Amino acid sequence: MATAERLRRAAAGAVLALLAVLAAALLPGPAARAQPAAPAPIVALQPEPAPVPAPRIGVVTMGPGEVFWERFGHDAIVVEDPATGTRTNYNFGFFDLDEPGFLGRFLRGDMRYRLVALPLAEDLDYYRQVGRGVQVQWLDLDPAQARALAAALADNARPQNARYRYDYFRDNCSTRVRDALDRALGGQLQRTLIGRSSGDTWRSEALRLAEPAPWMWLAFDIGLGPRADRPLSRWELAFIPSRLAEGLRETPRADGRPLVQSEQVLLPQRLPPEPPGAAPRIWPWLLAGLLAGAGILALGARRPRLLAALALPFWFACGLLGLVLLLGWAFTDHEAMWANRNLLLFDPLCLLLLPGGWALLRGRPPSPRMRALLVAVTLLALLACLPLWLQLYPQRNGHWIALLLPIHAALARVWTRRAA
């Protein structure tokens, strides 16, 4: 029994020893106990980069010059880099007189102009030399609008994008500035100006600005047809740079604030400013026509050969101008010349009167053919009196009718009466 008891105790001790070994293997010892987690590394916070300031956008308007293509003034868009202060002028008014085929395209109405980006200071040098004034209107654009406009102008100035087909009234240096601004403003400029009109027309503006150069005034007034007499909206009137500047002053931003933030004179205008202009009054032209007609009748009765000497250059001038108008209508893209009622007054048929006029100068009587031509020229001139309300596209040429119809009628009266 004692022996059995000892065996049970030995077995129990072995079991306890085995459990102790297993516990030691499974439970972590002092060296293997969990340690506190290491602190996360400290990362220094970097400040966000400051946003790049938006460029400053302005519209530069130049006063009229003395060369005929400078009479209407000029404008451009200036972009000021806020980082460097550099001012780049985007100028849509460049053309090359020495470009092959320039004259032919000019006559056909197919001219090509281009956009050039150049430093503002460099562009101003020319205007300073010739005495033309320059002012800039700084615009209050949103940063996104300013960046988009600057990027669009830079892309447009690339050589492959810079050229465009020029039109005096519908697509010129000023309308290009207007359209670029309107795209950046999301159409706000057009919405402001399209519904307004001052009653001005292509003709009235062209004559106003050409007034200091009489030959240019005559060319516009004779050469422009009825399309030039349609009243324009303020949007269309922006083909004149000074009119675009006026329109910008009247245009609000989408939030109601003025679009023009400030204005600055860069150069004073030393040349005469734009003339105010006024529509021709008919009565002086009518008086001149009636006096000329009376003189023709008196001279025809007393000095017919002298009258023939005076009539020859008159017929030549009328016929030549009429031929130019006819060719411009038939063979060019100068739409402003089309369907010109002045063809009835400056009649190409007058050229056919020259041989008969030469015979009159030599003392011969007028031939039946010449008498018929004189009557035809007078009747066509009389058709120009068709009341304006009957014309689909009325043309404001009453002063030319008042001047030339009495002259044509008097010449026809003199030579048909002498034949009788």
Global pTM? Answer: 0.84
Q: CB atoms < 10 A from the CB of 106, how many?
A: 16
**Range 204-207, long-range pairs (CB < 8 A, 24+ positions):** 204/277, 204/279, 205/237, 205/239, 205/240, 205/243, 205/277, 207/277, 207/280
Strand order in the sheet with 260-267: 163-165, 112-119, 87-94, 74-80, 56-62, 134-139, 260-267
Nearest-angstrom CA–CA distance, 274 and 340: 27
Alpha-carbon distance values, 116 to 126, 164, 188, 233 (Å): 15, 12, 26, 29
What are the domain boundaries of the chain?
A: 56-196+233-267, 282-419
Nearest-angstrom CA–CA distance, 406 and 378: 9
Q: How many CA atoms lie within 13 A of 193 on its CB side?
A: 25
Alpha-carbon distance values, 176 to 76, 191, 339 (Å): 9, 17, 28
Token pair recorded at residue 3: 């022996």
Token pair recorded at residue 205: 């503006």
280, amino acid identity: P
Nearest-angstrom CA–CA distance, 39 and 328: 89
Q: What is the pLDDT of residue 50?
A: 60
Check if CATH label 3.90.1720 holds for domain 56-196+233-267: yes
139 neighbors 257 (Cβ within 8 angstroms): no
Token pair recorded at residue 326: 């006819």
Nearest-angstrom CA–CA distance, 267 and 70: 16
3-state helix vs strand vs coil in the chain, percent to 5: 55, 15, 35
Q: What is the pLDDT of residue 1?
A: 41
Alpha-carbon distance values, 193 to 14, 139, 165, 259, 262 (Å): 108, 17, 24, 13, 20
Nearest-angstrom CA–CA distance, 342 and 380: 10
Residues 6+ apart with CB under 8 A from 148: 184
148 neighbors 154 (Cβ within 8 angstroms): no
387 neighbors 346 (Cβ within 8 angstroms): no
Q: What is the pLDDT of residue 418?
A: 62
**Range 126-129, long-range pairs (CB < 8 A, 24+ positions):** 127/62, 127/267, 128/267
H/E run at residue 112: strand 112-119
Q: CB atoms < 10 A from the CB of 300, how many?
A: 20
Alpha-carbon distance values, 45 to 39, 42, 48, 52 (Å): 17, 9, 9, 21
Q: CB atoms < 10 A from the CB of 8, how many?
A: 9
184 neighbors 156 (Cβ within 8 angstroms): no
Alpha-carbon Rg for the chain, nearest whole angstrom, is 42
H/E run at residue 306: helix 304-331
Could you list the pLDDT tens digit for every one of the 420 residues in the chain?
444 444 445 444 544 443 444 344 333 443 333 444 455 555 555 566 667 789 999 999 999 999 988 999 999 999 999 999 999 999 999 998 888 888 899 889 999 999 999 999 999 999 999 999 999 999 999 999 999 999 999 999 999 999 999 999 999 999 999 999 999 999 999 999 999 898 999 999 999 999 999 999 999 999 999 999 999 999 999 999 999 999 999 999 999 999 999 999 999 999 999 998 888 899 999 999 999 999 999 999 999 999 999 999 999 999 999 999 999 999 999 999 999 999 999 999 999 999 999 999 999 999 999 999 999 999 999 999 886 667 777 899 999 999 999 999 999 999 987 655
Token pair recorded at residue 367: 């031939």
26 neighbors 50 (Cβ within 8 angstroms): no
What do you get for the CA distance between the two ends of the chain, in Å? 182
Task: Quote the DSSP letter at residue 254.
Answer: T
